[in-house]
Amino acid sequence: MVTSYRDLKVWQASMQLAESTYHLLGRLPPRSGWALQQQLERSAISIPSNVAEGHARDSTKEYLHYISYSLGSVAELETQVLLASRMKFVAEQEADDLLAQADEVGKMLRGVQKTLKARV
């Protein structure tokens, strides 16, 4: 039974994605640039934060809104990881692993979105 956002599998998976992103950030070379690092950090944090905030809202419509924000942040994170990979700031395998995690979180979010849309 879900009594808190912390019980949600999608929140748990997105927290793991954020943690994996932080591990990646710690290995980025200084030349990768502060802006890319900051954007990676912000998008990774945004995903579970929006799941939590949406779950705490009073309406399904608002929850859907925050799930949409989380999906947008997944797309941002994927784009930033792809850029870091193309610029050779991270190893291709490391980028692929993070992208696979992001893809799984995106699928979970779309599942939540579909369920919520059926309620509206």
- Record the pTM: 0.95
State the alpha helices, DSSP H only, in 30-91: 34-56, 60-86
pLDDT beyond 80 at 32: no
Mean pLDDT of all residues in the chain?
95
pLDDT beyond 90 at 48: yes
Domains: count for the chain: 1
Structural domain span for residue 96: 5-119
CATH number at residue 112: 1.20.1440.60
Cα 79 to Cα 15, 30, 86, 102: the distances in Å are 19, 20, 10, 11
pLDDT of residue 33: 79
In this predicted model, what pLDDT tens digit does every residue of 95-116 receive, in sequence order? 999 999 999 999 999 999 999 9
- For residue 17 the two structure tokens come to 């994605």
Mean pLDDT score, 5-9? 96
